[in-house]
Structure 1
Amino acid sequence: MSHTRTPTWWLSATAVLSAGLLITGCLSNDPEAVADDDDNGSGAADTAPAGDNAEPGEDVVIGFSGPNAGHGWMGAITAAAQEQGEQFEDVELRVSEGTDDVNLQISQIEQFINDEVDAIVVLPFDGAALTEVAIDAMDAGIPVVNVDREFASPFAARTTILGDNYGMGVSAGTYICERLGDQDGAVVAEIAGIDSLPLTQDRSAGFEDALSDCGLEVSNRVAADFSVAGGEEAASNLLQAAPEIDAIWNHDDDQGVGVLAAIENAGREEFFMVGGAGSANMMREIQDADSVVEATVIYPSTQAADGIRLARLLAQGRAMGDLVQVEVPREIQLYAPVVTEENVEDYLDYAFES
């Protein structure tokens, strides 16, 4: 790809986003390089020495609670968290049943507190509603790792790990600029998720900002609901309203299954499409030369798995091996890369099924 127009605000954001890459590298440090005389081999020395984070530490119990896995991305979140917990011989992972009932999720956290677990990882169905019980856990001395949907208070979590919704929009818009930036009057369409959600608003804002950098704008926009049926209905409405389109960005690959059904039913193929989230379905579409799908933007379904890693380190009093600082960071935001036919093989094995 040859696009060289990089917005100045994106350069500053990249410095923050790159912190997310440290997680995947935190297991390979040389422990001898930062060895501490007080370390008893458990990784729980008072100075929280860095080192090889994969080395076993003291046994810890971690509780995990998340929403119902009725959505492909959400199902992958829980599965990845469970798989990560199983990889550590020093971790007992207790996974609560996924629920979209706020009161039930609150009771799950209360049970973890009563059980005196060593750390809690939470992807809240509603961050604001779970803030108070998360504060209760923190007050009880149990470090909380907040995943994806933020609590309403900084006192509710020791560490927060996030995807980058704004960055998703930037990545999608930048890719479309690379393809269409020299075409005056190019028609760009957007199929959003649930408009009332801040994550949708952030994705749209990033998309608009990136397009404006190359002189493009969103010509047609509809909103769906992250479901297959909602995606099909929204895309049908869009295609009826816009007789000619050059590019579409669909925010969510799960609803993208319905979007593609609507496109097929309409017999439209004059445009290319960029997906969002990074499902295996969309990546296989990218590999299909006859598909309108050219790319998708990753919204990592590994966030809770990374949360388990961080919770383990917090519970054991350890630091991230690739950081000089002797504490786990307060917040980590993961990057939103674009997957195309050139790099799809690098991402396909880690993708979720819609």
Structure 2
Amino acid sequence: MTQLPTRRGLLFGTAAVSAGALLAGCTSNESSDNDSDKADNNQPAADDKPGKAVTIGFAGPQADHGWLNAINDNAKNRAKKYSDVTLEITEGSNDTAQQIGQIETLINKKVDVLVILPADGKALTQVGLKAMRAGIPVINLDRIFNSPQAYRCWIGGDNYGMGLNAGTYIGEKLKDKPNARVIELAGLDNLELTQQRTQGFDDALKNYPNIKKVARQAAEFTVESGQAKMAQLLQAQSDFDALWNHDDDQGVGALRAIEQAGRDDFLMVGGAGALSAFQAIEADNSVLKATVLYPPTMAASAIDLARALGQGKGVGGMAEFEIPASITLYSAVVDKENVGQYMSTGFE
């Protein structure tokens, strides 16, 4: 999950416009297929005019995380909506050499467009360049290639924005509390995305001089690591007012540790948008009060963009004849006030 952070002045709208909304008028056709997953049901309806047949190759990493599995599901189910789209999807791998081989197979099949979520953007830049030089436009999904020449369009989430919005939400909740203390349960520290989320969080807290971040612990985006690292934080910090957890999957473990410790004296904000987090927010019976989105619906929008490229179309609602070079999705804050609106997008 990476890259291309943007600033937003308005952080707390009840709705966020995803890239898919821009693509609503982009040449598509509704299918009678009702097998789409929940995350795709609220995608904008496309127009009913089938266009040129397009074969889209989709290559992503191994779906070993709830968010990555949702990425695959969104791509598959979005493609099913179009009678003029054929989706060639690879098995997925976290081994860069294997993923490169899978993409080269798609290039050799002469697919019309490629959608690639690289396991490692730097390592896969050359195969992105190879596709582009072969005349196959690439939609680079989320983890960005090192060179803009390796893709026609990048679409992904806003890691800095996640931290910024989480920090602002917590700041507004604690702005009247003297000497407020917050802690942070981060993700993998060797990933740039983790550093971006922390930077956004720290920058937001600068606007609240009464708040001090007193501890930070890095986990590994897993339930087990979330539980273990949260237990360590709780043992080390007996008094704090808020927690920001970077990832809802590891947040499941974090909540277990919190419950086992019998703690309910602080508020927690999660990250990504898992169904379990939405359900906990709706139930309002735990410390988890909000989460900031990193929407896997970006994969559905990537299919829309790939289809538009294959058919030589632009994006509905925009004056340009071509699709944009990059689209950064907004990290909306979901709390009890608006969770019902986002429930159908939650991933498991």
The two structures have a TM-score, normalised by structure 2, of: 0.89
Query: Pairwise mapping of residues 67-86 of structure 1 onto structure 2 (< 5 A)?
Result: 67-86=61-80
In the TM superposition, what is the alpha-carbon distance from 1:308 to its structure 2 partner? 0.7
Tell me how far apart the structure 2 counterparts of residues 84 and 26 of structure 1 sit (CA, whole Å): 12
Tell me how far apart the structure 2 counterparts of residues 306 and 180 of structure 1 sit (CA, whole Å): 36
The residue that corresponds to 1:95 in the other structure is 89
Does the 8 Å contact 2:271/2:291 carry over to 1? yes
Tell me how far apart the structure 2 counterparts of residues 259 and 286 of structure 1 sit (CA, whole Å): 15
Secondary structure of the 2:61 match is: coil
Say yes or no: does 1:206 pair with 2:233.
no
Q: Which amino acid aligns with 1:181?
A: K
Tell me how far apart the structure 2 counterparts of residues 121 and 109 of structure 1 sit (CA, whole Å): 10
Pick closer, same or farther for the CA change 1:139–1:210 going to 2, 3 Å: same
The residue that corresponds to 1:147 in the other structure is 141
In the TM superposition, what is the alpha-carbon distance from 1:22 to its structure 2 partner? 4.9
Query: Pairwise mapping of residues 47-66 of structure 1 onto structure 2 (< 5 A)?
Result: 55-66=49-60
The residue that corresponds to 1:172 in the other structure is 166
The one of 181, 188, 191 aligned to 1:187:
181
The residue that corresponds to 1:251 in the other structure is 246
The residue that corresponds to 1:304 in the other structure is 299
The residue that corresponds to 1:36 in the other structure is none
The one of 26, 33, 39 aligned to 2:23:
26
In the TM superposition, what is the alpha-carbon distance from 1:313 to its structure 2 partner? 0.4
The one of 192, 214, 217 aligned to 1:222:
217
Query: How many pairs align?
Result: 322
Pick closer, same or farther for the CA change 1:58–1:28 going to 2, 3 Å: closer
Detail structure 1 runs of 4+ shifted over 2 Å in the superposition: 9-14, 18-23, 28-31, 52-55
Tell me how far apart the structure 1 counterparts of residues 27 and 136 of structure 2 sit (CA, whole Å): 29
Secondary structure of the 1:329 match is: coil
In the TM superposition, what is the alpha-carbon distance from 1:204 to its structure 2 partner? 0.3
Tell me how far apart the structure 1 counterparts of residues 207 and 60 of structure 2 sit (CA, whole Å): 37
Secondary structure of the 1:217 match is: strand
Tell me how far apart the structure 2 counterparts of residues 11 and 148 of structure 1 sit (CA, whole Å): 19
Higher Rg of the two aligned structures: 1
Tell me how far apart the structure 2 counterparts of residues 10 and 161 of structure 1 sit (CA, whole Å): 16
The residue that corresponds to 1:235 in the other structure is 230
Query: Pairwise mapping of residues 154-165 of structure 1 onto structure 2 (< 5 A)?
Result: 154-165=148-159
The residue that corresponds to 2:319 in the other structure is 324
The two structures have a TM-score, normalised by structure 1, of: 0.87
Tell me how far apart the structure 1 counterparts of residues 26 and 84 of structure 2 sit (CA, whole Å): 19
Q: Which amino acid aligns with 1:27?
A: A
Pick closer, same or farther for the CA change 1:99–1:13 going to 2, 3 Å: farther
Does the 8 Å contact 1:127/1:151 carry over to 2? yes
Q: Which amino acid aligns with 1:120?
A: L
Say yes or no: does 1:270 pair with 2:262.
no
Does the 8 Å contact 1:278/1:299 carry over to 2? yes
Pick closer, same or farther for the CA change 1:231–1:307 going to 2, 3 Å: same
Pick closer, same or farther for the CA change 1:211–1:129 going to 2, 3 Å: same
Deviations 1:64-85 (A, max 9, x none): 0111111001100000100001
Does the 8 Å contact 1:138/1:156 carry over to 2? yes
Secondary structure of the 1:61 match is: strand
Q: Which amino acid aligns with 2:100?
A: I
The gaps in structure 1 that reach 5 residues or longer are 1-8, 32-51
Tell me how far apart the structure 2 counterparts of residues 73 and 115 of structure 1 sit (CA, whole Å): 28
Deviations 1:89-134 (A, max 9, x none): 1000011002111111101110111000000000000011110011
The gaps in structure 2 that reach 5 residues or longer are 1-5, 29-45
Q: Which amino acid aligns with 1:175?
A: Y
Tell me how far apart the structure 2 counterparts of residues 314 and 20 of structure 1 sit (CA, whole Å): 21
In the TM superposition, what is the alpha-carbon distance from 1:53 to its structure 2 partner? 5.6
Query: Pairwise mapping of residues 111-126 of structure 1 onto structure 2 (< 5 A)?
Result: 111-126=105-120
Does the 8 Å contact 1:27/1:54 carry over to 2? no
The residue that corresponds to 2:42 in the other structure is none
Q: Which amino acid aligns with 1:193?
A: G
Deviations 1:224-248 (A, max 9, x none): 0000111011101100110011000
The residue that corresponds to 2:337 in the other structure is 342
Tell me how far apart the structure 2 counterparts of residues 187 and 115 of structure 1 sit (CA, whole Å): 56
Secondary structure of the 2:67 match is: helix
The one of 101, 109, 112 aligned to 1:107:
101
In the TM superposition, what is the alpha-carbon distance from 1:287 to its structure 2 partner? 1.5
CA RMSD of aligned residues (A): 2.0
